[in-house]
């Protein structure tokens, strides 16, 4: 069982990357000036990385590592993990985050539900344009101890997109 310290480390790394992604989304994509930058929004998005995303991803990757047979070739293990990740984990986790991000930003639940109805299919379609290939590389070639940070480096782009979609 991983230590609290390991989960905290992952959470801090993910929080920093998610915060950077939200800042880029606001300043570069949404074209806000520095005076218009919503630091509270960035802080809340980062906090989700610290307390939810980092720990959940670490636990999920450890679960995959323990369940996918180690006697398979690295490529086959990567394919198996990617299929499990994208088939079982990505849809509910994306849905959960699509609800949680606007909720922590104070959006009413009825508005969040409508946004999910309107945007979740698009978010998942875009997810499948990026994440299967990224996770194939991750699960096939990146050592387990670096998989969350690798995914979060890829997620820098994804988080810009998600932040923009979930904070409109």
pLDDT digits (tens, 9 = 90+) for 28-42: 988 999 999 999 999
- Mapped onto helix, strand or coil, the DSSP state of residue 97 is helix
pLDDT of residue 112: 95
pLDDT of residue 64: 97
Rounded Cα distance between 17 and 108, Å, is 27
- Please state the three-class secondary structure of 75-86 as a single string: HHHHHHHHHHHH
pLDDT of residue 7: 86
Sequence-separated (6 or more) residues with CB below 8 Å from residue 5? none
pLDDT of residue 3: 83
- Mean pLDDT per 10-residue run, the chain (168 residues)? 82 92 89 95 94 94 96 96 98 95 94 94 94 97 93 86 68
Stated as kind and residue range, the H or E segment containing 56 is helix 54-67
Rounded Cα distance between 76 and 80, Å, is 6
pLDDT of residue 157: 84
pLDDT of residue 168: 62
Sequence-separated (6 or more) residues with CB below 8 Å from residue 103? 109, 112
pLDDT of residue 127: 93
The string of pLDDT tens digits covering residues 66-79 is 999 999 999 999 99
At residue 67, φ and ψ (nearest 5 deg) are -100, -25
Q: Which domain holds residue 99?
A: 4-166
* Burial of 149 per CB tally in 10 Å (0-12, 13-18, 19+): middle
- On whether the CB atoms of residues 136 and 79 are closer than 8 A, the answer is yes
Rounded Cα distance between 72 and 31, Å, is 47
**How many domains does the chain divide into?**
1
């Amino acid at each position: 069982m991983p230590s609290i310290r390991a989960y905290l480390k992952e959470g801090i790394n993910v929080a920093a990357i998610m915060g950077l992604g939200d800042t880029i989304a606001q300043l570069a994509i949404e074209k806000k000036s520095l005076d218009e930058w919503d630091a509270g929004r960035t802080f809340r998005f980062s906090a989700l990385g610290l307390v939810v995303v980092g720990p959940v991803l670490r636990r999920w990757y450890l679960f995959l590592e323990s369940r996918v047979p180690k006697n398979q070739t690295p490529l086959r293990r990567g394919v198996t993990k990617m299929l499990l990740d994208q088939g079982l984990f990505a849809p509910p986790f994306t849905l959960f985050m699509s609800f949680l991000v606007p909720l922590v930003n104070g959006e009413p639940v009825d508005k969040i539900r409508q946004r999910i109805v309107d945007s979740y299919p698009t978010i998942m379609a875009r997810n499948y344009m990026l994440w299967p290939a990224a996770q194939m590389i991750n699960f096939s070639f990146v050592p387990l101890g670096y998989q969350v940070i690798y995914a979060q480096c890829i997620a820098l782009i994804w988080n810009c997109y998600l932040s923009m979609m979930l904070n409109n």
